[in-house]
Structure 1
């Protein structure tokens, strides 16, 4: 399959579709994924369908989020592509009057089926994160924050306080987990 500029644009639009999560447009969010699509981010691992349900639950909680998604870097092999996209996660727990900003990269395996590009698997690599104080400085349990990798500790702690616990270690910039993720992605792309 010859890739075109339209394929690149369609994938860029797919990545920018993450805005549907921030706008509580649940049907459009679900439509970003193939039916068997999966996602792995700090607070969730599983099917895209279950992620949408979890996101709806988060939308009714004290947690608020906004994602800023950059221009994707795309590598094609026919009807498959690996897409890496910078993303900034801006979060806030309104009850705690505490927020965070996390810089990450979505690492997506996408596939074109019946003429449409959708996500097969979304994973995240975390680069760095820090707390924000929208209403003034508040106390933070520094020891509890240090239990998670520094690259997403602020985000992880804020999520846990909001009832969305981080259950394992995730890939961080330059980590062995990032190398493994990318090696598996290359195997998928070439298969």
Structure 2
């Protein structure tokens, strides 16, 4: 195996470990390790948050202190690397346990994380994350329970993350209304912008987050 090919495999392994670690550090509330996954100027977008990674960490800590119960299952990422930049698309499952009108429920959302990453001082870090949620489900934890949803409220949320958003909104979250949907113009534009960013010869800076 040539050195260039081996180097590429090593860099992909490092990025994969970073993205897998992100899910573990988030779920185990290891905030210091989670913070180390990001560049100083990183941006995060989720169903309930749009802002800096620093603010995301603070908000996540507040949620954990209130007893939030969630897990991230992280798949194998598809990674493209160009010099000190990389993009990664990673299949994920988000599992959230909560209550609706006193009934314990599990919401499961399936989708992808689309990340821009930069290599700083020999270490890969996330500079921007945009999720594409594909579909979600909601079920009661105890089979004997009956669950009634406010259908009018439910239909105000995007179809591809409707049940998750419904549950999160009941907890006081402000829901992002326009995350890219699968096979939508917004998703195609995301791919186009990420490809252009990846191939740029300029060093990654704060201005590169568009």
TM-score, reference length from structure 1:
0.94
In the alignment of these two chains, the number of paired residues is 190
Runs of 4+ off more than 6 Å: none
Please give the secondary structure, in 2, of the residue aligned with 1:56: helix
1:106 to 102, 109, 113: 113
Give the CA deviation at 1:42.
0.6
CA contact (8 A) 1:62 1:162 kept: no
Give the CA deviation at 1:96.
4.4
CA contact (8 A) 2:46 2:176 kept: no
Give the CA deviation at 1:162.
1.1
d(CA) in 1 for partners of 2:94, 2:17: 18
d(CA) in 2 for partners of 1:146, 1:61: 27
Tell me, yes or no, if structure 1 residue 137 matches structure 2 residue 146: yes
Give the CA deviation at 1:130.
0.9
Give the CA deviation at 1:167.
3.5
Tell me, yes or no, if structure 1 residue 84 matches structure 2 residue 89: yes
Q: Which has the larger radius of gyration?
A: 2
2:169 to 151, 160, 166: 160
**Unaligned residue ranges in structure 1 (runs of 5+):** none
Supply the RMSD in Å over aligned alpha carbons. 1.4
Tell me, yes or no, if structure 1 residue 26 matches structure 2 residue 31: yes
Q: Deviations over 1:19-51 (max 9, x none)?
A: 111111111111110110111111001110100
Q: Deviations over 1:94-119 (max 9, x none)?
A: 45412200001000001111110000
- In the other structure, the counterpart of 1:13 is 17
Q: Deviations over 1:102-151 (max 9, x none)?
A: 00100000111111000010110011001021123311112211111211
**Unaligned residue ranges in structure 2 (runs of 5+):** 201-210
d(CA) in 2 for partners of 1:48, 1:173: 24
- In the other structure, the counterpart of 1:63 is 68
Tell me, yes or no, if structure 1 residue 147 matches structure 2 residue 156: yes
Please give the secondary structure, in 1, of the residue aligned with 2:159: coil
Q: Which has the higher helix share?
A: 2
